[in-house]
Amino acid sequence: MKMQVLLYSMFMINYTIFSQSYNNPGGIINTCTGTFYDTGGSGTNYTNNQNITTTFCPTVPGQCISINFLTFNTQAYYDILYVYDGNSTSSPLLGMFSGNSLPGVITGSINNLSGCLTFKFVSNGFTNAQGWSANISCSICQNPPIYVMSNDSFTTCNGTFYDTGGPNLNYNWNEKSEITFCPSNPGECMGINFNPITLELDFDSLFIFDGPNSNSQLMAIINDNSPAQNYSATSNNPSGCLTIKFSSDGWDQRPGWSSTLQCVPCTEKPYIAISSGTVNLCDGNFFDNGGKASDYINNSNSVTTVCSDNINNPFISLSFSTFQTELNFDILSVFDGPTTGSPLIGNFSGNLVPFIVMSTNPSGCLTFRFISDGGVKYSGWESTITCTEFPLPVTWLEFYGVKNNTNISLFWSTSSEKNNDYFTIERLVDAESYKEIGKIKASGNSNTQKSYSFIDINPLDGWNYYRIKQTDYNGKHDYSEIVAIKFEKGFDFFVSQNNQNIYLSMSGIPFGNNIIIDLYDLTGKLLFNRKHSIFENNNKTIIPINRDLTTGVYLVKLTLNNSTLSKLIFIK
């Protein structure tokens, strides 16, 4: 019996020592040590459609829970971790975290009598990700300072930042102020976690700059209701500071914003939003003026030139991952060079994601001009900036296909071509290999938009996968992206005749279907009508020619369910 008790005690001791991982289990946990994971733990992703609330409370009286996030990655804007300063979701909200920006260290405040922190995680039904890992500890409760919008500069790694109305009031009319926050931890960067923002649409604006003043690179402009989002100074900002500029007009007042300040590792790729000026950058992201999370602003007219900061890779290349503007009214123009007087690569509008755009100009630069009207606005674009040693032989603008009744039409265009001999159209024939189905002569050398097309007259029944192979004069080649088009063969018919009859041979009609056959003269008078049942070896029918049908042109129409196909025939 003593041995059993001893073994049981050893098991419990081991359990206490080694079982300190919490995979977002829900409920209340009293602890001052351990590791906090999403439900996937340390090795797998969290799952879809979660809504789980977990509260950690300190076991040391008078102290507060402190969570130090080591990793963080959720589906941006959709899978969100909410953190509350207390023992329930009715406690003050400290922040909403989504995407891959690290939340850093979060500690309960001195106003939080329980010392607990509550975490609510909500995921949607689509993409999931690795989630998070964080160390749990107990420490002295934070007494974070409160900052309100003003013309000032602060060095800090924590605090709450409000508009001039503070936590309870609206901001004021006719404000114009600029505030800068710099990190108190050397080697780290300033981070601001905004809760949802409420501003007067198009008239009151919040500007965020990656640096110590408003002459720094613009990261975002927010001038309406915006979801929660995080901003942090980037690795190409030596100061690690963030500057926020706010202006309001003399009319409406709104609740403004609340946010938390923290210091975070400077690991995020630099990103820029379109504004006026020139940027030298070879590894970063390029957004519309709404930044990463907000829609672009109305009545924009901004020009940004992007040039390489790497002498060994002088040519800028831009790859779009998303694109959505108001079709034909809000337009992004791209120029091959350092000014808007450089050759135009293309005008982009609507929701068709552009291909890679790349400079062939001796400067290596690309210039972007964005113009929006005062009406509808959308999410804008997200793109990645890279630099290359040589310009690509072809800069693709688009490649897409259209299913027709009996074939598939392929369309593609380029913004520039260098020593480009011809295009080869290829279709996937098995799981690994492509087969040539056509060839089109290219334009050779061009800095203007060129458009091409090709018709696949014998597409496969089902999914067809196409790619375009571009070949230079010297035989070198490159490929477009792959386009997939599903093709279901439509029905068709062919006509022949003799002195007594018109013969119809039909194809593409599944067995067991009934088809209606009509014959009209050119006045629209119905001369013949018949229902024909399609079964094996019965895909032909005869229309007898009687004495009423004189020599001339007639219309044959076939109807299958809700589809019709008509052809003109000449009766001798």
**Domain identity same for 257 and 297:** no
**Three-state SS at 7:** helix
Q: What pLDDT, on the 0 to 100 scale, is given for residue 511?
A: 73
CA dihedral in degrees (256, 257, 258, 260; nearest 10)? Answer: -150
Which stretches within 455-546 are classed as H helix? none
pTM: 0.43
**Domain identity same for 502 and 445:** no
pLDDT tens across 486-525, in order? 887 667 777 887 767 777 777 777 777 888 888 888 888 8
Tell me the C-alpha distance between 531 and 529, whole Å. 7
Domain end point (choices 139, 157, 183) = 139
As for how many domains the chain has, the answer is 5
Evaluate whether residue 14 is within a structural domain.
Answer: no
Evaluate whether residue 292 is within a structural domain.
Answer: yes
Which portions of the chain are predicted below pLDDT 50?
Answer: 1-18, 547
Sign of CA dihedral 264, 269, 274, 277: positive
CB atoms within 10 A of CB 460: 15
Those residues whose C-beta lies under 8 Å from the C-beta of residue 61, and which sit 6 or more positions away, are none
Q: What pLDDT, on the 0 to 100 scale, is given for residue 1?
A: 40
Evaluate whether residue 259 is within a structural domain.
Answer: yes
Give the CA count within 13 Å in the CB-facing half-sphere of 501.
Answer: 8
**Cα 410 from chain centre:** 25
Evaluate whether residue 13 is within a structural domain.
Answer: no
Give yes or no for a contact between 101 and 232, defined as CB atoms under 8 angstroms apart. Answer: yes
**Domain identity same for 227 and 175:** yes
Q: CATH number for the domain including 47?
A: 2.60.120.290
Could you list the residue range(s) of the whole structural domain that residue 460 is in?
Answer: 394-487
Q: What pLDDT, on the 0 to 100 scale, is given for residue 22?
A: 96
**Domain identity same for 283 and 236:** no
Domain end point (choices 235, 250, 268) = 268
Angle at the Cα of 204 (from 202 to 209), degrees rounded to 5?
A: 105
Q: What pLDDT, on the 0 to 100 scale, is given for residue 436?
A: 94
Evaluate whether residue 2 is within a structural domain.
Answer: no
Evaluate whether residue 9 is within a structural domain.
Answer: no
Reduced 3-state DSSP string for 331-365? EEEEECCCCCCCCEEEEECCCCCCCCEECCCCCCC
Sole residue written with tokens 């990190």: 183
**Cα 203 from chain centre:** 27
- Closest by CA position to 446, among listed 478, 410, 413, 412: 413
Angle at the Cα of 101 (from 95 to 106), degrees rounded to 5?
A: 40
**Domain identity same for 467 and 380:** no
pLDDT tens across 219-250, in order? 777 777 777 777 888 877 889 999 999 988 88
Domain end point (choices 356, 388, 420) = 388
Q: What pLDDT, on the 0 to 100 scale, is given for residue 59?
A: 95
Give yes or no for a contact between 531 and 514, defined as CB atoms under 8 angstroms apart. Answer: yes
Give yes or no for a contact between 542 and 555, defined as CB atoms under 8 angstroms apart. Answer: no
Evaluate whether residue 10 is within a structural domain.
Answer: no
**Domain identity same for 152 and 264:** yes
**Domain identity same for 134 and 35:** yes
**Domain identity same for 362 and 374:** yes
CB atoms within 10 A of CB 429: 12
**Domain identity same for 398 and 379:** no
By CB neighbour count within 10 A (0-12 exposed, 13-18 middle, 19+ buried), where does 231 fall? buried
List phi, psi (to 5°) of 49. Answer: 55, 45
**Domain identity same for 210 and 307:** no
- Closest by CA position to 157, among listed 190, 187, 134, 179: 190
**Domain identity same for 453 and 550:** no
- Closest by CA position to 558, among listed 545, 548, 569, 571: 569
Those residues whose C-beta lies under 8 Å from the C-beta of residue 414, and which sit 6 or more positions away, are 394, 395, 396, 397, 420, 443, 446, 449, 450
Reduced 3-state DSSP string for 312-323? CCCEEEEEEEEE
**Domain identity same for 252 and 294:** no
Evaluate whether residue 6 is within a structural domain.
Answer: no
